[in-house]
Every structure is written in structure tokens, then in C-alpha cells.
Structure 1
Amino acid sequence: MAIDPGLRRLALRTLLAAFPGESAPEWAADLLVDGLAGHTLFGTNVAGPEQLARLTRGLRSARADVLIAIDEEGGDVTRLGHRTGSPYPGNAALGAAGDPELTRRVYAAIGADLAATGINLDLAPTVDVNTAHDNPIIGTRSFGADPSLVARHTGAAVTGLQSSGVAACAKHFPGHGATVSDSHLELPTVDVPLSVLRSRDLPPFAAAVQAGVRAVMSAHIRVPELTGDGPATFSRAALTGLLRDELGFRGAIVTDALEMRGAAASAGGIPRAAVAALAAGADLLCIGAVVDLALVEAIVAEIAAATVDGRLAIGRLEDAAERTAALAAWSRPAAPPRQDSTPDVELGIEAARQGLRFEGSDDELRKPLVVRFVAGHSIAEGRVPWGLAPHLANVEEIEVVAAETTVESITERAGDRPIVLVGRRIHNSPAARTLIGRLAAERPVGVVEMGWPSSWRPAGVRAFVVTHGASLANSRAAAEALGLSR
């Protein structure tokens, strides 16, 4: 069935698509001409500042008010720095530093980097309160486990980012910090009363609204007392009742990627998920990273059909399109992208130093063998280089799988040298803990924890360093603290 051109354009105005590669295919630009709200860029779209500026300039030539979005959180989730690591520490280090003004400055620098390359919507900051110690998807992306601390840094981050003219998007509403599963893979449940949600998870979102945040991202999580059996993304009680009516948010509600299993599997596919999100009160729908023309047209067709069969009121669709247009108008760049932008590396290092915690002494750790434990990554993070190697001066770093490594193989490689072991969430690996304990009983050993920290401290180690993240800046701060840097 043919879709009315006006209805098709209206539906397109609510969608954030994506495309592969470092240049936009013809269909991606054609959809912008037809009314598509914009595109989300991922690491595969980014080769460097010059290429990125060319890419965004090309997209904007198709339509001037296009939204060009990206997940640039700094720290462990970076698209601009996906080949090297971010020059800025992430939220956990900023929260540990405890200086909201420093957080504002870092986010202003991130915003300046984005604006210089033509990006006008940052899907950040993450404002979840990380109360689940082993949360697999938030962790170091969070400012901390205390709601008031996270709220203070949230306001500063939003203010800093938006001072550059780049719209901020506080995520993941109503709070992903208490989950113990990943919504990319399943639908997590946070089974708490609304009173807990209001006191623990919502204060940062209230702070974001107070700071004038232009967008808020919904979470694909289930809170039974609020959302029933489905995710918040499909819940009118969550998006319209709680976020709009109770917190007073008037900007654009953006969904997390609809391709994620927490959404798509719950709705019976991405097109149906799009309709459910719009009906609940969402305005701008992130489709995901794997998008082609056929998928966009399927979503548009489903939205159009929903306005006919009663699942989606045409007035709700018009309202969503208007809010998305208002977001694009606010974040329309005042100047064309530059090709000579450089990050504020010194600010990033300064912030990472303030977020680092050092216990013990490095007196016996001179010229060590550095052993980095192979660690997994979340889908949100992707494969980004990490470890101390870029900053080491005449110090060897090797990579090992803890469960496949023996004490003897490490000591043989080390010879007479002390050993520094580096990892992410080392406390979750029994093999790594055992190796560290046995090595520390034989010789001077230091440990660098670059993931979400724990109370675990191995007996006998001379120094224990917590970086609160694995960015390039965090790595530099750790190497400096141990006297190993160039």
C-alpha cells in the first residue's frame, strides 16, 4: 500500500538512522532530503577529524537542520577516540575527583570537539546511579553510586556540553544503574517500589531537567510497578507520566537503540518497537547501528499503518516531529565544521589525575614487567585500546589471559624485575586474583584496577591503583603515579 507523502515525511522526522563506512551512501542522504531527522555515527564512521568534518558537511548539504548524533561519553565509551582511547576520563573518574566545575570543563571540551567536527547531538551524559556493584553495562560510565553526587555532576555535565552548542541527552531514564544484565542482550528488571526509584534513580534526571537538558534517553529496562511487563521505552506511565508530567521535561525524548533485544524482542521487531515507543511519548527513535534503506522504509510503513489502525494517534506523531524539529533548530551549528580541531589533552590528564586513587608505595616497583589481563568489553564500549603501554618509558608490557597463564610463565618473563598487573574488574576473575596473590608472595607486585572498583585488596601488594576508567587519560595518570611514564 502506498504511503501518503506527507505521512511518510512525518514518520521520517522521528527517526535517527545510521549507515556503514566513512562516507554516507546515497540512500542516507536521500532520506535526509525526504525528511529523516538525522543519523547516528559510530566508530566505524570515524577515521579522524578531517574525515569526520567532511562527512558531516556532506550530510548537512543534504539538509541544513539534520541531527548528527554520536555516543561520545569520554572515558570507556568513545567514538571520536575509538582507535586510541579517549583523551578524557569518563564519569566514574570525574565523580571520584569530586569537582563539578572540573566535570563542566571536561564536558565543555568534549562539546567543543564535537562541534568542531559538525556533530550537534551527543548521546551523553550517562546519569545512571551505579548501585549494582557488578552492573555489566553502566559501571565506569556512571559518576558514582550516590544519587546526590551523580545529580551534582549531571548538572555540570549538561551545562558544559551544551555551552558548546551541542545538545546533551541524559540517559538512561528512569535509571539503568541497578541492573545486573545488559539491555543490549535482554530486558533487565529493576523490581523496586516507585519510592526507591524517586529517591535513588531520579535525582540526576531532575538535575538534568533543571540544567536545561535538550534531550533525555529512555532505557530498555522493566520496572514492574511503573512499566508493567514491558520496558520504559514503551511505557506511557514512565515517559509521559513520570518524565513529562512529574519531572517537567519539555525537550525531546530519545529512545535507546531499538535494535537492542530489550526493545526489539519485547515488541516483535524494530518497526513495532518504533510504534510502541512513539505511542508511549518518545519523539526521536534511535534505530541502532545496523541500518539500511529497507529497514527505514519498513519502520515508516509500520508507523503509517499504526496511525490508521489506532495504535498511534496522528496528533502524537505530529507532536514528536515538532519536538525533534525544535531540537534540531536549537542545535543547528553556527559555523561549518573545522578540520583542525584538537582535544584538550592536558585538561583530560588533569582530570584523570584527580580521579585516581593510589594506595601503598611504588618504591619497590621501578622498571617492572607490566602484565595486562585481557578483559572483555560491553557492546556500548566496543573494542577500544586500553592499558599502560602508550605511556611507558623503557618498560615492557605484555598481555595475558589470566585463566591460561601460570605464575611460572610470568616470573620467568619478569626475571628479577618487579611486576605490575593491570586489569578491568580484576576482582571478578578468580584466576587473576589467584595469580596476583601468588606473585605478591614472591616479589614486589603492584596492581592497577581500570574498571569499576571494589573493596577487594590482595594481600602483599606494594601498591594498588584505582583509575576509575580505562581511557587514554586514565592510562597516563596511572603510569605517572607509578613512575613509569615517558
Structure 2
Amino acid sequence: MDPGLRRLALGTLLAAYPGSTPPDWAVELVADGLAGHTLFGRNIDEPARVAASTAALRTARADVLVGIDEEGGDVTRLAHATGSPYPGNAALGAIDDEALTRDIHRAIGGELAALGITVNLAPTVDVNSTDDNPVIGTRSFGADPARVAAHSAAAVAGLQAAGVAACAKHFPGHGATVTDSHHELPTVDVPPEVLRRRDLPPFAAVIAAGTRAVMTAHIRVPALTGAAPATFSRAVLVDLLRQEYGFTGAVITDALEMKGAALAAGGIAPGAVRALAAGADLLCIGAKVDAGLVERVATEIVTAVGDGRLARDRVEQAAGRAAELAAWTRDTGPTTVAAADLGYAAARRAVRVEGSLAGLDHPLVVQVHARSTVVQGRVPWGLGPHLHGTELIEVVATEADPEELRRRAGNRPIVLVGRRLHQLPGGPELVAALAGTHPVAVVEMGWPARWRPTGTRAFVITYGASHANGLAAAEVLGLAG
């Protein structure tokens, strides 16, 4: 294998590694030219160990890229064990204070910079135009393109003021999907004019704000991409993103192990070649990575240059943009850390109460189990950590016995806590059964859809399920110690 071409190929790849300390192979690949690594929850231990890990990677090459998905709110890696101390984008969009959005993201960026992390695979700038979107939801600033655009630009400004490169996602817009690209290839079957009006204004805003990177979406837009995902579409990545919208930074793919890409390409390595050929610059291989996978992907890229599927100058261009991104992160230093209560104060501002909380003192709190998405991971959520002297039980809606819950509550009111409660099998039925005999409040910690429970005293909306959101809800209910 041509060593120079192998190094170029490695320079387009963002890998990952298991454990809280980078193994030798992860460091050696950086020395060989690997663009960098993405950190996941399993890599995050105490801050000193994270900083030591990023420092170890820099011993191999000073300009290594270290990325992470630290969106705040429901998607956190730094606080995966407890939940984020920041509300997510939906809460910030509900507050609609652009200066606050900038401050929150600057605070997140400051924490990342202090740990040696240089690229945040955030913010999510998708317009959540579909209430039942299974993968965006509270990760979005809202359903209004203008509001999402304004807050997206503020988030980018905040992150990059802290010296951390922002990566706005997911181009050309994942907000109208009803399926999750981690599991299949979603389709958004609309003409380009609809995208320009509904989905693309936030991307125009972040490009104007100077975002250093944009992430592709593994979604199919037939009018632009045909049967393939946008990640493999030159019409999307070059004609639309670069030529029409004028983006000059690094195009980063969403993880190529996701079914939305891997199934369309026949695997991660062939997907890497197709993404490069379409105009992507940095390829996120995925979360489950070892040295063998990195070598297979690099070999496939080298082979594709040899057999004509991929032009060498396209690989050179991609590696060059990755290097430019790395140079920017080295030249821009971190700023001061924000006030510790910033995120909690913001979460309090986001809470909305419909109805009345009168007569809901000393309740039984019932938290309804909800599965986490792949991107959220198993991060704790709910009111539990914030309750003092209040009984809490956890149930599965389809297995819960309303009569047993009524007996357990006795003369107490009931507070039902859920995420997308209306979408959970048995969720609305459980609410109705309990509201028929007891004063009931519902706390919705997912995306606030149009559904409203009937017969309840109050409907509390937090716009997210972070640690900060949970404390804010407990305080509004008078349950926090």
C-alpha cells in the first residue's frame, strides 16, 4: 500500500476506542495520520482522566481532533452518569433568549476545551416540524425555522467563542422524519423548495455565523438524492451545501455504522468511499471501532483510488479540510468557565404549567418507563434525584395496575412523569384511569406534542429530561428539598 495515500486516507477518518484510556493502537493510528477520535459515554470518567486521555492522543500528534456529542439536555456524554446540568435546545428555544443560548453553549464549550476536546458534534439545528419525530424532538430549538435559525447561530457563536469547533447537524434537515436513521433510512419526500423554506434556514444562519463544520444526515430526499442518503449525495453536499449555501468548512458524516448509511452502502468501508466521493471530508466511522476496522476503511479508500472509484485529489481535498479544522482548534484558546448555576437557572425559565397545581401537595410520584434512543443512551432522567420525602415508584405503562396505584396513593394526589407519554403504549390510558379518581398532574419531559391529557389538574412541560430539567420540574411542583 502506498504509505502516502494511506496517511491521506487516515486523515479523513474520525475513529473511536473503548474504555477511559486510549489503547496503544488508538494513539499509534494518530501518529500515522488518523484525523482523530470521537469520545462516547464509555470513554468518560472523572475529568482528570478525560484530560489525561486527550493529552495522550496529543503526544502522537499535536493537532489531533477530539470530538464529542455534547448537546446539553437529553444528549450528553460528559454527564452520562447523572444527566446534563444544562437544558437542551427545545428548552432554550421555548425561552427564546438568544443571549442565553449563546451563554449556555459557551459554557458547554468551556467545559470541553478544559478537557482537551476540540470539536463538538453539535448543535442540532434541525427544525422539528414533525411532533412524533423519534430521534430529534427536544434536541431541536423548535418547529419555527426563523427561531431555530436564530438560536442555532447563537449556539455556534457560543461554542466557538470557547475555542471549540461547532458542527451543525443534520444537513439538509432531519426534523421532518418519522423514523430513526440509526435503524433505517428515513425518507423526506418533498421538493427542494420546501427544504429551502422549512429546513435550510438554520443552516444558512450557522454558515453565516462561521460554523467550522456541518454534519450530514442519513436521510433520503428523493428529489435530490434519489434512492441514496444525503451523506452519499453530491447534489446535497456539493451543489446545495457548498455552491448554493457557500459553506467552506469541513463536512463531517454522521456515523457510518448507522443503518441509514451502512445498509445503503453495503457496509462501513464502502460507505466511506461513497461519502468521500460525494463531497464529505471527515468520516465518523462509528462508536464500535477497533484498529482492524480503521485499517479496513483506510484500505478501501486506497483501493478505490487505485480502481478509479475515487479521485486522489478528492481525498487530498478532504484531508486538507480536516487539517484546516484541526489548525483552527489549535489556534483558538478556551475562555473562562461560566457560573455553576447557569443551566439550572435556564431550565427554570423553560418550565410551562397548564392548569393549576393547587391541591397537589404531598403526591405519589409515578414515573413511566420510556426507552432511550441510541443517541441519548441510558442517561438517568426524571424527578427522582430531586425528591426529598416524596414517594416515587417506576412503572411500565402496559404493566401498571391502576387499581394498585390508586390503593398506593390513598388520599394523595398523583404526579405522572413521562417522556412522550402520549406515544407510549398504554400511556394515555393510564393517565385517564388515574385521573378518574385522583387529582393528577402530568409532567411531560419529552417533546411537547399537541396531545393533552383530559381530566387532569395540570400539565407541566419541561422541554427536556436533563438533570437541570428534572430539578426545575420538582421545584415547580414544590417537591425539591
TM-score (norm. length: structure 2): 0.98
Task: Check the 8 A contact 1:218/1:233 in 2, yes or no.
Answer: yes
SS in 2 for 1:206: helix
Structure 2 Cα separation of the partners of residues 211 and 336 of structure 1: 19
The match for 2:359 is: 364
Task: Give CA deviations for 1:73-95 in whole Å, capped at 9, x if unaligned.
Answer: 00000000100000000011111
Q: For residues 437-448 of structure 1, what are the structure 2 equivalents within 5 Å?
A: 437-448=432-443
Residue 482 in structure 1 maps to residue 477 in structure 2: yes
Residue 451 in structure 1 maps to residue 440 in structure 2: no
SS in 1 for 2:426: helix
The match for 1:311 is: 309
Residue type of the partner of 1:453? P
Structure 1 Cα separation of the partners of residues 332 and 248 of structure 2: 24
Task: Note closer, same or farther for the CA distance 1:336–1:136 as it changes in structure 2 (3 Å cut).
Answer: closer
Q: Which runs of 5+ in 1 are unaligned?
A: none
Query: How many positions carry a matched residue from both structures?
Result: 481
Shift of 1:291: 0.6
Q: For residues 200-219 of structure 1, what are the structure 2 equivalents within 5 Å?
A: 200-219=198-217
SS in 1 for 2:393: strand
SS in 1 for 2:242: helix
C-alpha RMSD over aligned residues: 1.4
- Report runs of 4+ in structure 1 exceeding 6 Å deviation: 333-337
Task: Check the 8 A contact 1:115/1:333 in 2, yes or no.
Answer: no
The match for 1:75 is: 73
Q: Select which of 158, 161, 164 maps to 2:159.
A: 161
The match for 2:89 is: 91
Task: Give CA deviations for 1:187-222 in whole Å, capped at 9, x if unaligned.
Answer: 111000000011110000000100000000000111
Task: Check the 8 A contact 2:162/2:333 in 1, yes or no.
Answer: no
Q: For residues 6-405 of structure 1, what are the structure 2 equivalents within 5 Å?
A: 6-332=4-330, 344-405=339-400
Structure 2 Cα separation of the partners of residues 441 and 358 of structure 1: 21
SS in 2 for 1:386: coil
Q: For residues 461-472 of structure 1, what are the structure 2 equivalents within 5 Å?
A: 461-472=456-467
Task: Give CA deviations for 1:40-69 in whole Å, capped at 9, x if unaligned.
Answer: 000000012121111111111111100000
The match for 1:473 is: 468
Shift of 1:113: 0.7
Residue type of the partner of 1:429? L
Bigger CA drift: 204-213 or 309-318? Answer: 309-318
TM-score (norm. length: structure 1): 0.97
Structure 1 Cα separation of the partners of residues 144 and 186 of structure 2: 21
Residue type of the partner of 1:196? V
Structure 2 Cα separation of the partners of residues 9 and 287 of structure 1: 16
Task: Give CA deviations for 1:280-332 in whole Å, capped at 9, x if unaligned.
Answer: 11000000001111111111111001111111111111010110000001012
Shift of 1:342: 7.8
Structure 2 Cα separation of the partners of residues 464 and 390 of structure 1: 21
Task: Check the 8 A contact 2:171/2:215 in 1, yes or no.
Answer: yes
Task: Check the 8 A contact 2:163/2:333 in 1, yes or no.
Answer: no
Task: Check the 8 A contact 1:48/1:80 in 2, yes or no.
Answer: no
Task: Give CA deviations for 1:318-356 in whole Å, capped at 9, x if unaligned.
Answer: 01011000000101276799xxx9874411111111221
Task: Note closer, same or farther for the CA distance 1:98–1:336 as it changes in structure 2 (3 Å cut).
Answer: closer
Structure 2 Cα separation of the partners of residues 137 and 311 of structure 1: 33
Task: Check the 8 A contact 1:227/1:238 in 2, yes or no.
Answer: yes
Task: Check the 8 A contact 2:40/2:68 in 1, yes or no.
Answer: yes
Residue type of the partner of 1:112? G
Residue type of the partner of 2:36? G
Task: Check the 8 A contact 1:118/1:336 in 2, yes or no.
Answer: no
Residue type of the partner of 1:434? E
